Structure 1
Amino acid sequence: MRCSMCGHESPAGSSFCLNCGSSLAPALAPTQLPPQGLPAMVVCGTCRGENPPGMKFCRNCGSALAPAAAGGRPAMAAPMPGPPGPMPAAMAALGGPMPGMPSGPIGGFPSAPPAGPGYGPVGGMPGLAMEPEPSGARVAQGSTIACPRCGTQTPLGFAFCQQCGLNLQGIVPTEAASSARPRGPVAVAPLAGRSDGPIDPHAGTIAQDEVSSGAAAAARAGAALRPHTGPGWGTAVLVNRDGSDGQRYTLSGEYVVVGRAGADIAFDDDRFLARQHARLERGGDGVVRVHPIDALNGVFRKADAPIDLVDGTTLLVGREVLRFERIDPEEVKGFPLVRHGVALFGSPPREPWGRFVQLVPSGGYRDIRHLVGEEIVLGREEGDLVFRDDAFLSRRHAAVTWDGKRAQITDLGSSNGTFVRLIGPTVLRHGDHVRMGDQLLRVELGR
């Protein structure tokens, strides 16, 4: 096969020139026009496979297809000017995904199709709005596959969904009884706003919504799932990273839920928050409490006074998440190992009364620091436990004391404070700071 670009002879059956990489098949085999009256096939620019008209994705490789030409001719790959690059020019012209990769959006909603011939408008009805097909091109019931993402019925034998591009290999075909009622997407309206359906408190904490900013984000942040009635009994003030006051949220009704999408106070972009993370409520006695709902990241309260440390207490100092553990009496005094009458030589024995376990995002541990003595200081530059790479720690941040019976932690006037994770409903006072996910809120009562 002779290349029309450089004249090099390539072995028979080659798709690309072995010398310059130019495509050989399109140049040697021009596309045959369909007989008069029959719909033109659409040629995939990636694999050169033919597809019926109206298809949005190639049924062989899943790549996006170009719209059919106005004159009824099939869409063909544009010729490659000059020496080609490492990728066929047709793929770059189409701007579609790589072969085998679905092009549908994350979240389960089909994206709006691009304007142009060959694409029908997507309405609120389930299924895909396509151009009318000839009567002979319709597929009988029981020979289609329902896409688990968008619900579109795709003919059997297609490797990818023709609506959203999802890989359909391995999915059981739709039965005749069920194919008449395909599961379609929800009405298009939720794409513009957020659904107010019931909230699962055990939903994942990784945000899947698109990041937004400006007035739209502020409007969603204050959107309430349920109407609040009655006068407000407090205000939650968002503390910015520079320490200044940010947005203010009125606390009213029986309770206010803090979380992600759908919560009364919503921070959609915080992937450390659950959909229902915590609840601020005022009881019949007029006392305001915070109820942690999420068991993964929990709720932390700023320690404005010495706090007793019990076994399992989790602390947040700077960016370090530390879990306090008491040491069992049998671990305090270690006896030297003797083998064949020889005692093992090692570091001098000490008698720790507790330890800090450093928790990492993977769920594992990093360092374990044993606590020895009556006072242990944590800081960035000075102290017994120093974290020099933590810019959120103060020079001398907090101190842990031990009187022989109980351990306490006291903040040493640090800039960012010392936080203790709550293990249950906790009473809040005016001016208390609570940290939920990556958000710091100051609670003001009676305002």
Structure 2
Amino acid sequence: MDLGLACPVCGQLNVIRAVRCSRCGNELAPAPVGAAVGGEDEGRVAEAVAVPAAGAIDDPPSGASAGGAGGHAKTMFFGALQQQEVSPRLVVIKGEGADGLTYQLSGETQILGRTRGDLCFAEDPFLSPEHGRFTVQGGRLFVQDLNSTNGIFVRIRAPSPIEHDDLFLVGEQLLQLDARGFAEYMPDHRGTYFYGSPRVEAEFRVTQRLAGGGLGLSSAARGSTLTIGREGNVLNFPEDRFISGHHAQLHRPAPGGPIVLSDTGSRNGTYVRIKRAQELFHGDYLFVGQQLFRVEIA
């Protein structure tokens, strides 16, 4: 059996006197001052740091002994770390401070905001004072918006139904779904029809929301489908360098049915504003204000 120091971050088994983990570079606890180099004391130290020894489980007798006379087989854990409950963490991908900065969500509840809470980003003007709450329950992580002005957006992993007035992010564009069909084309009380551009058959439309709350571009679906991207789509944003050529799509599979938002293989993903507490999983991404986080749950 190999003996050594188990890294508390990645579980790598290092040589007993290693200063840093050979896999992830994490600083390891130094050996106790005055520890003997050899003999009985070293044996005790080696026994204390032997990873498998702490997690041995007796197997049921199988009729054949293993390891020695009169003994029975032992099932050993690969590493003691698999018995430890690892708290979720948020990794900064883009935003205030250094990219890659990690926030450990060690408590049961953590508040994120601009001026109040456990995770504060004072330089982000798009964060509310108390913006969102992260809750850890039995190793599961949940996020909830605290009635903030700008909300919390989570990257979709699969086609997701959205509803009238829902907001979603594509690149740097904040877009809003209008699921209402066009009003019936009728004359006014004098029997006169309003003259305008030719009508299109569209089941819904999408409107760009501008900084400050104003309305920008608006585009109607082509029948039951609306594509979004940098070029060659129904709704195009050629100046947005964070949007892929064909980025996302809205589609209503059946008349009167739900409208489904899909990411069409974009580089930066598509995000939907949450409306209630939502569970987060390892590898999820979320925008809170200008902060883009990746969720890690080891």
Is the contact made by 1:231 and 1:253 (CA closer than 8 Å) also made in structure 2?
A: no
Is 2:178 the partner of 1:322? no
Higher relative contact order (CA 8 A, sep 6+): 2
**1:257 paired residue number:** 111
Match 1:415 to one of 249, 267, 272? 267
SS in 1 for 2:128: coil
Give the whole-Å Cα distance in 1 for the aligned partners of 2:241 and 2:121. 25
Q: How far apart, in 2, do the equivalents of 1:346 and 1:395 lie?
A: 31
Q: How does 1:84-95 map to 2 (within 5 A)?
A: none
Native 8 Å contact 2:204 2:224 kept in 1: no
What's the offset of the Cα at 1:343? 5.9
Q: Shift of residue 322 of structure 1?
A: 0.9
Q: Classify the secondary structure of the residue corresponding to 1:269.
A: coil
Match for residue 17 of structure 2? none
Q: 2:229 aligns with which of 379, 388, 396?
A: 379
Q: Structure 2 matches for 1:76-115, cutoff 5 A?
A: none
2:229–2:237 Cα contact (<8 Å) kept = yes
* Correspondence list, 1:299-318, <5 A: 299-318=152-171
In terms of fraction of residues, the more strand-rich structure is 2
Could you tell me the TM-score, scaled by structure 1's length? Answer: 0.44
Name the CA distance, whole Å, in 1 between partners of 2:198 and 2:189: 16
2:200 aligned residue (347, 350, 355): 350
After superposition, give the CA deviation of every residue in 1:106-139 in whole Å (9 maximum; x if it has no partner): xxxxxxxxxxxxxxxxxxxxxxxxxxxxxxxxxx
**What residue number does 1:424 align with?**
276
Instruction: Please report the RMSD computed on the Cα atoms of aligned residues, expressed in angstroms.
Output: 2.4
Q: Deviations over 1:39-84 (max 9, x none)?
A: xxxxxxxxxxxxxxxxxxxxxxxxxxxxxxxxxxxxxxxxxxxxxx
Cα separation, partners in 2 of 1:357 and 1:304, compared to 1, 3 Å: same
The number of aligned residues is 211
1:295 aligned residue: 148
Q: Shift of the alpha carbon at 1:332? A: 4.5
User: Is the counterpart of residue 442 in structure 1 residue 288 in structure 2?
Assistant: no
Aligned to 1:368: 218
Contact 1:236 / 1:442 at 8 angstroms: preserved in 2?
A: yes
CA contact (8 A) 2:233 2:246 kept: yes
Deviation at 1:266, TM superposition (A): 1.9
Q: Distance in 1 between matches of 2:105 and 2:172?
A: 29
Question: Partner letter of residue 272 of structure 1?
Answer: F
Runs of 4+ in 1 over 4 A off after TM superposition: 336-340, 342-346
User: Structure 2 CA distance, aligned partners of 1:268 and 1:298?
Assistant: 17
- CA 346–269 in structure 1, closer or farther in 2 if over 3 Å, else same: closer
- What secondary structure does 1:258 align onto? strand
**Structure 1 residue runs without a partner (length 5+):** 1-229
Q: 1:344 to 1:418 in 2, by over 3 A?
A: closer
Q: Which is higher, the Rg of structure 1 or of structure 2?
A: 1
Give yes or no for the alignment of 1:333 onto 2:187: no
- Alpha carbons 1:357, 1:365 under 8 Å: kept: yes
1:374, distance to aligned residue in structure 2 (A): 2.9
Listed as ranges, the gaps of 5+ residues in structure 2 are: 1-83
| 8 Å contact from structure 1 (residues 257, 264) kept in 2 | yes
Q: What SS class does the counterpart of residue 233 from structure 1 fall into? A: coil
Q: Distance in 2 between matches of 1:375 and 1:325?
A: 13
Q: Bigger CA drift: 256-265 or 291-300?
A: 256-265
User: Counterpart of 1:398?
Assistant: 248
Match for residue 271 of structure 1? 125
Task: In structure 1, give the amino acid aligned to 2:221.
Answer: L
C-alpha deviation, 1:245, in angstroms? 5.3
Alignment partner, residue 433 of structure 1: 285
Task: List aligned pairs for 1:131-210, cutoff 5 A.
Answer: none
